[in-house]
Amino acid sequence: MHFDLIDLRLFVRILEAGNITAGASRCHLSLASASARIRAMEASLGTPLLERGRRGVTATAAGTALARHARLIVQQVEHLQFDLADYAQGFKGQVRLLCNTTALSEYLPELLADFLASHPQIDIDVQEQQSLRVLHGLRQGAADFGIISDAVDSSGLQTRPFRRDPLALVMPMDHPLAGRSEISFAATLEHEFVGLALNSALALSLEEQALHLGQRLRIRVRAESFDGVLRMVARGAGLGVVPQAAIERWQGERGFASLPLSDPWAQRHLLLCATDFDALPGYARTLLAALTSS
């Protein structure tokens, strides 16, 4: 059995992405080269490592065992490279960060841009996921750390406060709900909504909350961003649910009204989360320090 570091890193990235094409892209390999490497690994072991299906790939039992060890090896090599960065010209560490919709759109863009400008030796691979998926990814070793809502159970992981992040209802100025001091999510479900894109973590969370109430969101149209939701709501397309931070950041004409949502799950706080903050590689701890000090 002979695997090199490129093989192990490729295998980990393929499982993170769920398909060989995306995993190859993350490792800057062609699809043909990546496929050949996986076939060679399977031939070396004499057993399949991936289950190939119409929707992508998943690990076999042997692949799951290999992935567990591969992640540890790749992380240890990245730690070593960072510790020797002063002696290795041109080394670039990469932080793997998972976060929910609000963190990615409202809080991180300027923070990450400033960090990258002042740390040219560090790259950041940031991916948007629902908070539950962020937790799953951290437990599987798919990221260095993440940002989650405190509404999910993070037991077994370490957390630190990041931002207060309450959700608010937005509506046209002349909407029947306008003028209240606050409102519950349940009281909004008889009305039509402007939703976020289906792959948005917040959109999925709101759909789940509606289902818990025995109803479905009545989505008239979907927008790709919080700004898009606010613009459509202001034009009378329906109600919307966005973070209070998106409303405060809004630079356009205020053609909508807003109300705080009274539900406990809407009084969110964002948390930084990791399996062990002290065990993070040096470059990840550097980013973590920048986020906690901002």
Q: How far apart are CA 125 and CA 12, in angstroms?
A: 14
> Which of 148-152, 172-176, 212-216 is predicted with the least confidence, judged by mean pLDDT?
148-152
**Mean pLDDT (the chain, rounded):** 89
Contact between 142 and 98 (Cβ < 8 Å): yes
Class of the domain covering 163-267: alpha beta
Contact between 3 and 10 (Cβ < 8 Å): no
pLDDT at 82: 66
pLDDT at 92: 67
Report the Cα 143 to chain-centroid distance in Å.
10
Query: Under CATH, what is the fold of the domain 1-91?
Result: Arc Repressor Mutant, subunit A (1.10.10)
pLDDT digits (tens, 9 = 90+) for 215-269: 999 999 999 899 999 999 999 999 999 999 999 989 888 889 999 999 999 998 9
Q: How far apart are CA 196 and CA 222, in angstroms?
A: 5
| Ranges in the chain annotated CATH 3.40.190.10 | 163-267
pLDDT at 218: 95
- The residue-averaged pLDDT of 39-55 equals 89
- The residue-averaged pLDDT of 104-117 equals 93
pLDDT at 83: 66
One-letter amino acid at 215 equals Q
Question: Both tokens of residue 110?
Answer: 């300027």
Specify the DSSP class assigned to residue 240: E
> Where residue 56 falls among pLDDT bands split at 50, 70, 90?
confident
User: Distances from the Cα of 178 to the Cαs of 79, 151, 239, 264, in angstroms?
Assistant: 54, 27, 11, 21
Question: Cβ-count burial of 89 within 10 angstroms (0-12 exposed, 13-18 middle, 19+ buried)?
Answer: exposed
In 3D space, the residue among 166, 142, 82 whose CA is nearest the CA of residue 273 turns out to be 142
| Ranges in the chain annotated CATH 1.10.10.10 | 1-91
